[in-house]
């Protein structure tokens, strides 16, 4: 059964009235709010200029959005995990600084000038590339989802933590860019 024109118009008027009433209620609540009615301190002076920070960092007001660890999970930090704050993210892309970490022997500090990539094994001709060699090739970017096989580890035997970050935080979605090594 199709709705009559009159029913469609009536439901549209009712929906419009509900939206308007909600907006008026919000405006009435905000009318006495000093954050709305008064000029705030941060808006009374100029902010930091272009070039103040050589590398962009998150706002200090977002300082609570961080990777976290569970100190009791492993015996030392060289072989441990940090967890992505899934509950605090917007959108599908995880900022690089918030991607989970899983290390089994710490983080190696490798000088790119000394790094070599060797392709050998089931290839006709083994090859060795420097980072500069790789930078000369066309790059490809892909948005990929990466999950640690140990994700949800904290829940395998019983509920142990009360945070999405600690139960499911060993995953992220980022844009990876690199050189395809096939062919």
Confidence of residue 74 (pLDDT cuts 50, 70, 90): confident
Confidence of residue 92 (pLDDT cuts 50, 70, 90): very high
| Residue 11 DSSP SS3 | helix
Does 138 have pLDDT greater than 60? yes
- 37: closest CA among 27, 45, 47? 27
Does 82 have pLDDT greater than 90? yes
- Per residue in 12-38, pLDDT (tens digit) is 666 666 666 666 566 666 678 898 899
Torsion of CA 70, 71, 73, 77, to 10 degrees: 110
The answer to whether residues 22 and 90 belong to one domain is: no
Residue 159 forms part of a structural domain: yes
| pLDDT at res. 77 | 86
Judge whether 79 and 105 are in contact, CB under 8 Å: yes
| Residue 155 DSSP SS3 | helix
Average pLDDT, the chain: 87
| Whole-angstrom distance, CA of residue 104 vs CA of residue 110 | 17
Residues 6+ apart with CB under 8 A from 16: none
Tokens of 79: 């072989």
The answer to whether residues 21 and 93 belong to one domain is: no
Confidence of residue 145 (pLDDT cuts 50, 70, 90): very high
> With a threshold of 0.75, does the pTM exceed it?
no
Q: In the predicted model, what is the mean pLDDT of residues 2-17?
A: 70
The answer to whether residues 156 and 66 belong to one domain is: yes
Number of domains the chain contains: 2
- Per residue in 109-120, pLDDT (tens digit) is 999 999 999 999
Which range of 1-10, 11-20, 44-53 scores highest in mean pLDDT? It is 44-53
What separation, in Å, do the N-terminal and C-terminal C-alpha atoms of the chain show? 60
- 150: closest CA among 103, 105, 115? 103
> Helical H runs in the chain?
5-30, 34-37, 131-135, 164-168
Share of the chain above pLDDT 90, in %: 54
The answer to whether residues 93 and 166 belong to one domain is: yes
Residue 55 forms part of a structural domain: no
Q: What is the span of the domain harbouring residue 37?
A: 5-43
Residue 23 forms part of a structural domain: yes
Confidence of residue 11 (pLDDT cuts 50, 70, 90): confident
Phi and psi dihedrals of 128, rounded to 5?
-125, 130
Q: Which helix (H) or strand (E) holds 140?
A: strand 140-147
Does 7 have pLDDT greater than 80? no
């Amino acid at each position: 059964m199709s709705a009559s024109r009159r029913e469609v118009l009536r439901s549209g008027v009712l929906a419009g009235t509900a939206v308007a009433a909600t907006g008026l209620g919000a405006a009435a609540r905000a009318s006495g709010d000093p954050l709305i009615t008064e000029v705030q301190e941060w808006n009374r002076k100029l902010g930091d200029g272009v070039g103040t920070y050589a590398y962009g960092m998150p706002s200090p007001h977002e300082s609570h959005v961080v990777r976290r660890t569970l100190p009791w999970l492993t015996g030392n930090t060289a072989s441990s995990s940090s967890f992505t704050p899934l509950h605090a993210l917007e959108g599908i892309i995880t900022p690089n600084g918030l991607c989970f970490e899983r290390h089994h022997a710490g983080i190696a500090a490798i000088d790119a000038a000394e790094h070599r990539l060797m392709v050998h094994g089931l290839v006709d001709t083994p090859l060795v590339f420097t980072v500069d060699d790789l930078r000369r090739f066309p790059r490809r970017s892909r948005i990929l989802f990466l999950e640690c096989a140990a994700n949800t580890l904290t829940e395998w035997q019983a509920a142990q933590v009360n945070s999405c970050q600690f139960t499911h935080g060993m995953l992220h979605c980022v844009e990876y860019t690199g050189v395809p090594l096939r062919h």
